[in-house]
């Protein structure tokens, strides 16, 4: 895997993302030299939230349909309630997440974003964390739940909330820099193992 200054990292989000869970990892990754690209459903600016209040807006670089997992070293999935709840209803988003998983590339999901990992069937047999209100969903998807700022299991990092952004991003950076090159794996076979 590339060093961070050589890495291209994809963030996937839509309206309702938790402000610091997108802008925090983006800022930390950019400060470390990574190229960070934002993809969403349309090219219109998306609106963040700070808990339930309006947050900042940001213009995406690409649409989900224009993204190929092969072009990126890692994937970041911010939380917020509405953001992952909307994204998990789009098959192209779930297919993209699964493409990162098949390639063994690091995937980071914070707060409510593990809902997307549930939808992609990537948590079975893993240890993970999330926002407290979705832990039952994560557990029902086959994960063992722990209450820690950042949990790494294989190529997936999960985290609980905006207060954990630094630990979450550092764990993702460690995966990007330390994970050896891997061959494509069959997500369905892995999920049933």
C-alpha distances (whole Å) from 105 to each of 54, 71, 80, 166 are 32, 11, 23, 20
Query: 163: which 2 tokens?
Result: 């207060």
Confirm whether 112 is a catalytic residue: yes
Residue 9: beta bridge partners? 36, 74
Separation CA 192–CA 94 (nearest Å): 18
DSSP symbol at 64: G
Q: Is 192 exposed, middle or buried (0-12, 13-18, 19+ CB in 10 A)?
A: exposed
Q: Which of 112, 126, 135, 160 is catalytic?
A: 112
* Token pair 């030299």: residue: 33
Q: Which residues are part of the catalytic machinery?
A: 112
């Amino acid at each position: 895997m590339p060093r961070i200054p050589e890495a291209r990292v994809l963030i996937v989000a839509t309206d309702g993302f938790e402000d610091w869970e997108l802008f925090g990892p983006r800022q930390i990754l950019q400060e470390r030299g990574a190229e960070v690209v934002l993809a969403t459903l349309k090219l219109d600016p998306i609106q963040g939230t700070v808990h339930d209040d309006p947050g900042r807006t940001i213009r995406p670089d690409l649409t989900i349909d224009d993204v190929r997992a092969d072009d990126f070293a890692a994937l970041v999935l911010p939380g917020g309630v509405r953001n992952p709840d909307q994204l998990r209803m789009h098959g192209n988003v779930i297919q993209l997440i699964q493409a990162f998983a098949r390639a063994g590339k690091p995937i980071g999901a914070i707060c409510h974003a593990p809902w997307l990992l549930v939808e992609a069937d990537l948590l079975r047999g893993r240890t993970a964390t999330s926002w407290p209100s979705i832990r039952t969903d994560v557990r029902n998807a086959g994960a063992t739940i722990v209450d820690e700022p950042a949990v790494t299991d294989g190529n997936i990092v999960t985290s609980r909330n905006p207060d954990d952004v630094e630990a979450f991003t550092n764990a993702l950076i460690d995966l990007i820099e330390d994970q050896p090159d891997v061959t494509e794996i069959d997500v369905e076979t892995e999920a049933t193992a």
